Copies of this chain bind each other. A is one copy, B any other.
Amino acid sequence: MSVTIREVARKAGVSTATVSRVFNNAAAVDADTRRHVQAVARKLHYSPHAAGRSLSMKRTDAIGLLLPDVYGEFFSEVIRGADQAAQQNHYHLLVSSSHTTREALAGALQVMRGRVDGLVIMSPHIDGHTLKTNLSKTLPVVLLNCHVADASFDSFNIDNFHGAYEMVRHLLGHGFQRIAIIKGTEKNLDAEERLRGYRQALSDGGVACAAELEVPGNFSEASGYEAARQIMRLSPRPAAIFASNDSMALGALSALREMGVALPQEIALAGFDDIPLARYLSPALTSVHVPISELGAQAIRRLFQVLQKKNRQQKQHAAVPTRLVLRESCGCPKHSNHDQIQRTMTQGGERHGMTETVG
């Protein structure tokens, strides 16, 4: 079918070893021979067969990215960051998604063997045991926002706690005392951490928490819509709403607009994630920016460290820092949509520094 190294060797009148040497410019090969081989190879449209190469070299030059889903801009950003980082190191990215069930994930893990040199796994519902039983002990793995208790894997997580904490501190700084939160999905670790940040910020600010101000939600627009209606029935009416993600903030915004509530004059609103459309809403949405593509890139880079046998034993657990993006919805002054510069607040920078625990 397609042209092999043997054909090139035969046509060029040399051995396969020489052709191989030319392509991997490894050992010494005579300049004339090299040129000749290259010419023949070009004429035949030869390019090395990856599977044969992988088998012999015990490496694939590819790394796998396992996602639960590829819906929405969040995952697309992860892919972008990962692909960029991979490409910089001359690796390829093997993306695989829809691994919501344990079985699907187990299958995907198995199928990756011999296909990739390492794995980045982003799967909120995974447990350490499934990982351990389906994974070759030798395959390097980095967990992304995975929340597995098992410390025997490298892991990166969004610093939800500090993000929420700083946002609520900022709202308090506006003078708002009564701040409601729209909570995320029950049992979800992201949601819990954001709630924890909210509570800590209030208490550090000398404001008491109140159960009525903690309204349930599930990260969907619809739940944000409902939550906002519920919040507006409270009396006295809260001065600000902190939604645990932007989708819910979006839903809340719709509800408030329908009810004829003026933002940010009558009530302030802030979200979490800083999805791209946040800046195009009116009023533009204040949010906690999560460096999503950076998350993907970090994971890949850590994987390369491991592949290069650096820091192999010591597992790394890092919290990826977030940053506030202040727009109109919290009462900060208006900026045109057209200045591409996002104002960022760097207060508390030290606390935001990438925190690493090694163990």
A-side residues, CB < 8 A to B, are 1-3, 45, 47-55, 58, 60, 62, 70-73, 75-76, 79-80, 83-84, 87, 92-98, 110-115, 133-139, 221-222, 225, 250-251, 254, 257-258, 276-277, 280-282, 336-338
Q: What are 27 pairs between A and B in contact, CB < 8 Å? A: A2-B138, A2-B139, A45-B134, A47-B110, A47-B111, A49-B55, A49-B113, A50-B113, A50-B114, A53-B114, A70-B76, A70-B79, A71-B80, A76-B79, A79-B79, A83-B95, A83-B97, A87-B97, A87-B98, A92-B94, A94-B95, A221-B338, A250-B280, A254-B336, A254-B337, A277-B280, A282-B282
Copies of the protein in its oligomer: 2
* Contact across chains for B98 and A84 when beta carbons are under 8 A apart: yes
Return A11 CB to nearest CB of chain B, in Å: 17
Known: A52-B55, A114-B50, A280-B250. A96 touches B83 (CB 8 A): yes
Q: Which residue of B lies closest to A50 (CB)?
A: B114
Q: Which residue of B lies closest to A74 (CB)?
A: B76
Chain B residues positioned under 8 Å from A112 (CB to CB): 50
Chain B residues positioned under 8 Å from A258 (CB to CB): 336
Report the bound CA distance from A161 to B45 in whole Å.
Answer: 38
* Contact across chains for B79 and A114 when beta carbons are under 8 A apart: no
Report the bound CA distance from A254 to B336 in whole Å.
Answer: 9
Return A114 CB to nearest CB of chain B, in Å: 4
Q: Which of B55, B138, B336 contacts A55 (CB 8 A)?
A: B55
Chain B residues positioned under 8 Å from A48 (CB to CB): 113-114
Report which residue of A51, A92, A135, A225 has the largest number of chain B beta carbons within 10 angstroms of its beta carbon: A51
Q: Which residue of B lies closest to A98 (CB)?
A: B87
Return A128 CB to nearest CB of chain B, in Å: 15
* Contact across chains for A136 and B45 when beta carbons are under 8 A apart: yes
Chain B residues positioned under 8 Å from A72 (CB to CB): 73, 76, 276
Report the bound CA distance from A280 to B257 in whole Å.
Answer: 12
Q: Which of B97, B111, B114, B137 contacts A52 (CB 8 A)?
A: B114
Known: A70-B83, A98-B87, A114-B52. A138 touches B1 (CB 8 A): yes
Return A125 CB to nearest CB of chain B, in Å: 18
Return A38 CB to nearest CB of chain B, in Å: 14
Q: Which of B51, B84, B281 contacts A114 (CB 8 A)?
A: B51
Additional 16 contacts, C-beta under 8 A, given A251-B338, A277-B280: A47-B113, A48-B114, A51-B115, A62-B115, A72-B73, A72-B276, A73-B73, A79-B79, A83-B96, A93-B96, A94-B95, A221-B338, A222-B338, A250-B280, A254-B336, A257-B282
Chain B residues positioned under 8 Å from A113 (CB to CB): 2, 47-50
Report the bound CA distance from A98 to B82 in whole Å.
Answer: 12
Return A348 CB to nearest CB of chain B, in Å: 30
Chain B residues positioned under 8 Å from A58 (CB to CB): 1
